[in-house]
Structure 1
Amino acid sequence: MAIIGSYLKKHTEALVKDVGIEPACAVTGKSKATLGRYYSDNDEHADRFMPIDAVAQLEEVASYPHVTAALAELRGVGLSFENRPNNARRSGGVNSDVIALSQRFAMLMAEYQQSIEDGRISVNEAKRLLKETTLLQQVLVDMKLNLEDEAS
């Protein structure tokens, strides 16, 4: 349970920081100290987690559903998250998806090469790699949707 708790706390922190601490306080009606306790790794706060209604409120204004995605990953469930209107999807078909996939993968590899240069990946470098991975995932989702369109 300690590993799961730590994992959820890291994603809770990412959610709060995504929204911003002041706006998160306004959205949830919680104080900075209370929000901080929800993602604190101190032993005294080990059993304290953000209530699900507060998670839902924050994820509604966040750029990504951090805690929901973490819960899904813990169960081995994949989520498809699109923070854009359905009609914003590229319509160039599978061929353009393959090109976009190649380009995005090259960007990920370039970011990885730069990050690993000193022999370790820092927190900021990991965040940049995570962002590139998420963008690569989005290209794959677009490709999947285009393939489904062509198959039907």
Structure 2
Amino acid sequence: MDKAASYLKKHTESLVKDVGIEPACELTGKSKATLGRYYSDHDEHADRFMPIDAVAALEAAASYPHVTAALAELNGMQLDFDERRPNSNESGGVNSDVIALSQRFAMLMAEYQQSIEDGVITVNEAKRLLKETTALQQVLIDMKLHLEEESG
């Protein structure tokens, strides 16, 4: 088995274990034995991989998109994982977005103040500022979607 196949199988196993074997069986409609074959490194299962619909179902339930991230890494790409899950603020509407926006901006300013205190922004401080900026940007995107929805 080549390194890429082995890498995908390890991440498939991580995905199944993240969700749990019993819930994974229910979500995919596959038996424990079948799921085990998808991540087995034995020669007789070297060419068996989990179908993409099963991967999608498990990644929707998992804490992290293990297989998708592995595929991206194998192709020299990197994923930007939004831990909030899409549309996590659906019910609040624009008013909730305005509150979230001001909270995120306050967090960004607090992080900036802490970072600039010594007159130098280190690499780690820049990464934290970038993370806060990205979170602020996501709130603005959510707000835009809510405004578009309310305007018709």
Structure-1-length-normalised TM-score? 0.63
What is the rounded CA distance, in whole Å, between the counterparts of 1:20 and 1:141 in structure 2?
33
Q: Distance in 2 between matches of 1:26 and 1:34?
A: 12
Give the match for residue 111 of structure 2.
96
RMSD, aligned α-carbons: 3.2
Deviations 1:34-73 (A, max 9, x none): 0000001111111111011100111111111100000011
Q: Between Structure 1 and Structure 2, how many residues are aligned? A: 114
CA contact (8 A) 1:13 1:39 kept: yes
Partner in structure 2 of residue 118 of structure 1 = none
> 1-side partners of 2:77 and 2:52: how far apart?
19
Determine if contact 1:90/1:142 at 8 Å carries over to the other structure: no
Once the two structures are aligned, what percentage of the paired residues are identical? Answer: 63
Off by >6 Å, runs of 4+ in structure 1: 146-149
Gaps (5+ residues) in structure 1?
106-136
Query: Would the aligned equivalents of 1:94 and 1:147 in 2 still touch at CA under 8 Å?
Result: no
Query: Partner of 1:14 in structure 2?
Result: 14
Amino acid across the alignment from 1:20:
G
Shift of 1:96: 1.2
Partner of 2:131: 142
Partner of 2:96: none
The structure that has the greater radius of gyration is 2
Q: Is the 8 A contact 1:15 1:65 kept in 2?
A: yes
For residues 54 and 97 of structure 1, do their structure 2 counterparts lie closer, same or farther at Cα, with a shift above 3 Å needed? farther
Displacement of 1:148: 7.0
Q: How far off is 1:145 after superposition?
A: 2.0
- Structure 1 residue 10: deviation in Å? 0.5
Q: Is the 8 A contact 2:108 2:129 kept in 1?
A: no
**Is the contact between residue 15 and residue 67 of structure 2 (CA under 8 Å) also seen in structure 1?**
yes
What's the counterpart of residue 25 of structure 1?
25
CA distance in 2, matches of 1:47, 1:40: 10
Q: Specify the alignment match of 2:44 in structure 1.
A: 44
Cα distance in 1 for residues equivalent to 2:108 and 2:114: 10
Q: Where does residue 68 of structure 1 map in the other structure?
A: 68
Which of 56-65 and 80-89 deviates more? 80-89
CA deviations over 1:96-130 (Å, ceiling 9, x no partner): 16859xxxx7xxxxxxxxxxxxxxxxxxxxxxxxx
* Rounded Cα–Cα distance in structure 1 between residues aligned with 2:75 and 2:111: 33
